[in-house]
């Protein structure tokens, strides 16, 4: 499958089967995270693999968008490692870097037959407290993963509807 076919085929999975995700597939998804580009290659990502019943139950109590996934990646930025701008006061690349990392993970997962959904509907401080994260570790997003349920389809009927390029590209 070409990259464009993969990118067009992938959708946010909101219904997972109970089939466990094999360790070698999780390892491949985490390798995609490891090689993702980050600002100055500082690699500020810190990923917590929530797969024990206790950890998955805990995140389910904090976020209603896990959709029965057997594994949830909690993708965080280590703010001690993120690139800081010298020209824009207060700018840290951590959130952008983790977004790139998450995208790589989603696409690798899909190539392996594993569904995912990018989630940001949670309280950062509640998650930090629940998982005893130190102050320099900032939760950025959740990536629930698993095999799509047999009846799973794209949630939005407009999933394959794209704006014309002219609507968002301007040549200067």
**The token pair that represents 66 in the structure block:** 């896990």
pLDDT tens string 85-107: 999 999 999 999 999 999 999 99
Side-chain-side CA neighbours of residue 152 (13 Å): 21
| Residues 6 or more apart in contact with residue 37 via CB below 8 angstroms | 100
Tell me: pLDDT of 158 over 90. no
Q: Checking DSSP bridges between strand 115-116 and strand 45-50, what pairing results, if any?
A: unpaired
The reported pLDDT for the residue numbered 121 is 96
Tell me whether residue 36 is in a domain.
yes
Tell me whether residue 41 is in a domain.
yes
CATH label of the domain that carries residue 49: 3.40.109.10
Predicted confidence band at 25 (pLDDT cuts at 50, 70, 90)?
Answer: very high
Tell me whether residue 65 is in a domain.
yes
Range of the domain at 86: 3-150
Tell me whether residue 165 is in a domain.
no
Distance (Å) of CA 62 to CA 57, 73, 91, 125, 133? 9, 14, 28, 11, 15
Tell me whether residue 161 is in a domain.
no
pLDDT tens string 50-86: 999 999 999 999 999 999 999 999 999 999 999 999 9
Tell me: pLDDT of 1 over 90. no
| Domain count of the fold of the chain | 1
Tell me whether residue 164 is in a domain.
no
Tell me whether residue 167 is in a domain.
no
Tell me whether residue 64 is in a domain.
yes
């Amino acid at each position: 499958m070409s990259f464009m076919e993969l990118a067009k085929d992938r959708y946010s999975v909101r219904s997972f089967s109970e089939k466990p995700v094999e360790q070698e597939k999780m390892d491949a998804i985490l390798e995609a995270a490891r090689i993702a580009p980050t600002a100055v290659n500082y690699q500020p990502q810190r990923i917590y693999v929530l797969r024990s019943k206790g950890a998955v139950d805990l995140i389910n109590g904090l976020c209603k968008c896990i959709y029965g996934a057997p594994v949830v990646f909690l993708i965080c930025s280590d703010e001690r490692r993120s690139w800081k701008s010298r020209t824009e006061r207060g700018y840290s690349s951590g959130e952008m870097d983790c977004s790139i990392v998450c995208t790589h993970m989603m696409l690798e997962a899909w190539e392996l037959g594993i569904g995912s959904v990018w989630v940001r509907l949670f309280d950062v401080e509640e998650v930090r407290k629940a998982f005893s994260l130190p102050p320099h570790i900032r939760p950025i997003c959740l990536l629930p993963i698993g095999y799509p349920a047999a009846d799973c389809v794209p949630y939005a009927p407009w999933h394959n509807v794209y704006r014309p390029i002219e609507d968002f590209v301007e040549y200067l």
